[in-house]
Amino acid sequence: MGNNGKPTPDEDDDQALSDGDQTLSDRDQTLSDRDQQASDEDQAAADLDLDHGGDREVYAESTSSRAARTQERDDVSAARDLTAQERDTAAIRRDAISLLHDEVAATHDREAAAADAQDGVADSRAQEMDEVRARALAGRVRAAQDRGRAMRDREKAAHDRRRAAQDREQAAYDRRHAGTDELTGARRRGVGIEELQSEMERSRRHGDNLVAAYVDVDGLKAVNDSKGHIAGDRLLRSVADTLRSRMRSYDLLMRIGGDEFLCVLPGVSTDDARRRFHDLGPAGPAPWSISLGISELRDSDRAQQLIDRADQDLLETRRRR
């Protein structure tokens, strides 16, 4: 306290730093709690996958949890970076205050030395000088502690960023594979319908054609019954691989049923689409055959309407055989 009973400027700084320490300690606890919550969500996502035997149908839920946890780790990492910066600032302030205390102590040393030279020992001034030195020492200790804690915060923030990057990679993998049929590599129906709707909207924006080719594998049940489901699976994979070979990298291949696929071809006509798959019918050279139906996008179409017309075209093609 100063002579007027009010806090001195350096005491005000000490109080401000103490208040800042409490804020940072509270934030440490909050971040630790959020770390624990993220870990709990990790375990919950893993348990969900395990309980369902790795069933891809539950990936949407576990992927959503991982995505939320990834964002949380990003937020925690940013908060820890901010905390580290604030601790660095606090350490710099404490260093400055310690230097001020050292200067005050040096001044008191000189005054005490002058008093000693004049009239012996000035006990009260020596005591005051000792108190200032003690405060300067305490400030330096606190500043060193702040620097150490700031370093640890930066290390934690770096760890969080690494974990967040790993989570993003895992979440991206989950999203890719949650929408992919394991057997054929085609898109699953649910995700595929959403992607088809997006392609339809894009085609309308750009005024492009878009064609859907409905593909039904002929005789799959007979293959399963006579040669077993492993042979049937090989047949489906072969069909999917062949369809992909007739499609561009950005075309959409979707498995919409056990033996049914949909090929979505932007920017082509119905005749172009039929030519792509013309030799995969019953008279073609492949050891298997498909039935094919084609529909072209209309202004009023929703995804299912486009698919249904292609399916109807397939049925009419079969009736004409």
Hey, which bits of the chain come out as E strands? 210-217, 252-255, 260-266, 290-296
pTM here?
A: 0.52
Q: Are β-strands 260-266 and 210-217 bridged in parallel, bridged antiparallel, or unpaired? A: antiparallel
Contacts of 115 (CB under 8 A, 6+ apart): 121, 122, 125
| Amino acid 49: pLDDT | 46
| Amino acid 224: pLDDT | 93
Beta bridge partners, 293, equal: 214
Contacts of 196 (CB under 8 A, 6+ apart): 212, 252, 254, 262, 264, 303, 306, 307
Query: Tens of pLDDT along the chain (321 residues)?
Result: 445 555 554 456 556 656 655 665 666 576 566 656 656 665 665 555 445 444 444 445 555 565 666 666 666 666 666 666 666 676 677 666 666 666 766 666 666 666 555 554 556 666 777 777 787 777 677 767 767 776 776 776 676 667 666 666 766 666 666 688 989 999 999 889 999 999 999 999 999 999 999 999 999 999 999 999 999 999 999 999 999 999 999 999 999 999 999 999 999 999 999 999 999 987 788 889 999 999 999 999 999 999 999 999 999 999 987
| Amino acid 223: pLDDT | 94
Question: How many angstroms separate the CA atoms of 240 and 236, rounded?
Answer: 6
End-to-end alpha-carbon separation of the chain, Å?
104
Contacts of 219 (CB under 8 A, 6+ apart): 288, 289
Question: In angstroms, what CA-CA distances link 66 with 59, 70, 75, 162, 188?
Answer: 10, 6, 14, 15, 21
Name the helix (H) or strand (E) containing 24.
helix 9-51
Question: How many angstroms separate the CA atoms of 152 and 146, rounded?
Answer: 10
Ramachandran region, residue 251 (left: φ > 0; alpha: ψ -120 to 50; beta: rest): beta
Which two three-digit tokens encode residue 60? Answer: 């949407």
Long-range contact set of residues 124-133: C-beta below 8 Å, sequence gap at least 24: 129/105, 132/101, 132/104, 132/105, 132/108, 133/101, 133/102, 133/105
